[in-house]
Amino acid sequence: MTQVPKVYFGSVIPGFQRDSVSLTAKLDKIIELLDFSKIDKRDKVAIKMHLGLNVGYQTLHPLFVRRVVEAVKKTGAYPFITDNPTAVYQAAARGYTAETCGCPIIPIAGIKDRYTVKAKVDFMGVEDLDLSGVLNDSDAMIVLTHVKGHGNSGLGGAFKNIAVGGFGAPTRWHKIHPVVHYRKFFDEAKVTPDHAKKLVAACPRDAIEWNEKKKTLSLEPYVCDQCHEGEKACVKADAGKIGWQIRQETFDSFQEMMAVSAKAVLDTFNKDKLFYLNFMLNITPFCDCTGFGMPNIVPDIGVLGSKDIVAIDQASLDLIAREGLEMSTVSKIPERYTRINKKPSKGLHPFQVIHGPMKNPYRVLDFAAQRGMGSREYELIEVLSVAETQNMDMGSFAMESGPTFF
């Protein structure tokens, strides 16, 4: 009988007011269970994060990053944090330095995003992707992810972290994101400027663009919420003239490409040397690339660790679904910021309630499981749970009434 992968879970809720049962202690326990002993002495270990941009403040706290770094160092290996060059260049402004995190922070594809190697994919018109040279050089990788929503895929989880973040900028922006336009959903030959402008005006989300100079009409799927479960205003305005449609396949293209590109990254590693940690804290509607503060739309949940990338994102989504949206916050978000489905059908994931039913965040996991990248079934094992720790004898606790470090 094949065993389902284990996903270790540390809840943000401690059983008592002590550091020994806090989220850091749970992270330490999860790292112990993941077993970093498979990392060899002198291995170069990439800790792939998204450090965020500009004034974003909801990325992962350096305290947790340092715990991971210290655990890697104990194996005798050399950890380093890596992300896109702009995020690395700005990292110190948001608290990530070699001093706070405990290891160097280096750009994933060189200072100009050009240190890459070709990965052949042949998928949806894309022949190859420019894979990060730094990840390609690494012996082991810890995918350290801040879990949040995402405008294209619903979820920004472990997949998104490497499927998009593991490549140079030209690949990220000119090969991975544009696959949403690969499957045609209207007849370009029938577009007239007047009709295009009619469609642009019909969209309440500014998701349709008419380029007067190039005479091109396009959809920005990141913004489109598919008018949620109601009538599509753009399809109504078109009235069949150019055959404009809003299709599930359009949104699935990005999700399938994420499975393809993530596989290209993971295939360069020995599977024993891949580890995943997902933090479900500060769960915002959009990804950290936006570079500004956002409302947290789901209560803080905790941390997950696994050796299976599919299982960890599946468990993250399931726990978010179990928790549900923080409606006292969500109900205050103005429509100009994002339209929320106010009367969602049963069964929609919270991220579909935010981003629309066609941005089903589980789709990437279907495509990945089909490619043998992991399992959608998993065993959730909670560490240092409230039930286990609330009645433990924690000993006495003394407040810091004077300096205790000397």
CB of 151 to ligand SF4, least distance (A): 12
Nearest one of 50, 90, 52, 45 to 68, comparing CA atoms: 45
Name the pairing type of β-strands 6-11 and 302-306: antiparallel
CB of 339 to ligand SF4, least distance (A): 8
CB of 234 to ligand SF4, least distance (A): 3
CB of 72 to ligand SF4, least distance (A): 44
- If the CB atoms of residues 233 and 380 are measured against ligand SF4, the closer one turns out to be 233
- If the CB atoms of residues 88 and 208 are measured against ligand SF4, the closer one turns out to be 208
Evaluate whether 21 touches 389 at the Cβ level (below 8 Å).
yes
CB of 228 to ligand SF4, least distance (A): 8
Evaluate whether 159 touches 368 at the Cβ level (below 8 Å).
yes
- If the CB atoms of residues 26 and 205 are measured against ligand SF4, the closer one turns out to be 205
Longest Cα separation, the chain: 78
Q: CA–CA separation, 208 vs 203, rounded Å?
A: 7
Q: How many CB atoms lie within 10 A of CB 204?
A: 13
- If the CB atoms of residues 224 and 262 are measured against ligand SF4, the closer one turns out to be 224
Dihedral angle computed from the Cα positions of residues 180, 206, 169 and 290, in that order, rounded to the nearest 10 degrees: -120
CB of 222 to ligand SF4, least distance (A): 11
- If the CB atoms of residues 117 and 237 are measured against ligand SF4, the closer one turns out to be 237
- If the CB atoms of residues 71 and 203 are measured against ligand SF4, the closer one turns out to be 203
- If the CB atoms of residues 217 and 224 are measured against ligand SF4, the closer one turns out to be 224
CB of 196 to ligand SF4, least distance (A): 13
- If the CB atoms of residues 123 and 254 are measured against ligand SF4, the closer one turns out to be 254
CB of 124 to ligand SF4, least distance (A): 21
Give CA separation, 291 vs 97, 177, 282, 366, in Å: 18, 19, 14, 30
Q: CA–CA separation, 41 vs 39, rounded Å?
A: 7
Q: What single-letter amino acid sits at 240?
A: G
Residues at the interface with ligand SF4 (CB under 6 A):
202-203, 205, 207-208, 219, 224-227, 232-234, 246
Q: Which residues contact 324 (CB under 8 A, 6 or more apart)?
A: 298, 350
Evaluate whether 237 touches 186 at the Cβ level (below 8 Å).
no
CB of 223 to ligand SF4, least distance (A): 7
Two structure tokens written together for 260: 């393809």
Give CA separation, 31 vs 67, 78, 105, 203, in Å: 9, 17, 21, 47
Evaluate whether 296 touches 325 at the Cβ level (below 8 Å).
no
Q: CA–CA separation, 43 vs 40, rounded Å?
A: 5
Q: How many CB atoms lie within 10 A of CB 328?
A: 7
- If the CB atoms of residues 72 and 219 are measured against ligand SF4, the closer one turns out to be 219
